[in-house]
């Protein structure tokens, strides 16, 4: 398995869950302060979160094949969801910075996996 694809799977899952949670009023208030709502950004956050979760699914299927890729994806979703819950509970003021960082890591990993010739072959 390619390490850039594995980092893409987790980073995209974490960034996707962060975007979906910031689209909710309660979590947006926790992160940005009382009375703050996502407003017009809600749909974009929801769309971005869904796209990032689909990207993590595609990367896990490419990294581990069609049989084990689903298991890898569910494991990454579990780890990312637990990380999101922990971040919202214990570091809500730093949550949006960690979400930005996870998105940047996901995009860099995507570019790296697309540019590297070794990720083109999938071993079962």
The DSSP call for residue 94 is G
Write down the pLDDT at residue 119: 46
Q: How many CB atoms lie within 10 A of CB 30?
A: 18
Write down the pLDDT at residue 79: 95
Task: Note whether 10 and 76 are within 8 A (CB).
Answer: yes
Write down the pLDDT at residue 12: 93
Write down the pLDDT at residue 122: 52
Locate 37 and state its tokens.
């709502």
Write down the pLDDT at residue 17: 93
The count of residues in the chain is: 124
Locate 105 and state its tokens.
């890591």
Dist CA 71 CA 114 (whole Å):
23
Write down the pLDDT at residue 81: 95
Low-confidence ranges of the chain (pLDDT < 70): 1, 32, 36-38, 117-124
Task: Note whether 17 and 49 are within 8 A (CB).
Answer: yes
Helix axes 42-90, 95-115, angle to 10 degrees: 110
Dist CA 4 CA 78 (whole Å):
19
Q: How many CB atoms lie within 10 A of CB 33?
A: 10
């Amino acid at each position: 398995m390619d390490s850039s694809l594995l980092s893409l799977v987790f980073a995209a899952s974490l960034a996707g869950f962060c975007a979906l949670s910031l689209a909710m009023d309660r979590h947006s208030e926790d992160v940005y302060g009382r009375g703050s709502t996502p407003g017009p950004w809600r749909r974009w956050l929801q769309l971005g979160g869904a796209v990032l979760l689909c990207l993590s699914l595609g990367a896990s299927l490419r990294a581990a094949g069609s049989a084990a890729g689903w298991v890898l994806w569910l494991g990454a979703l579990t780890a990312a969801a637990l990380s999101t819950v922990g971040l919202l509970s214990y570091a809500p003021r730093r949550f949006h910075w960690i979400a930005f960082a996870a998105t940047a890591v996901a995009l860099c990993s995507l570019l790296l996996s697309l540019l590297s010739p070794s990720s083109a072959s999938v071993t079962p």
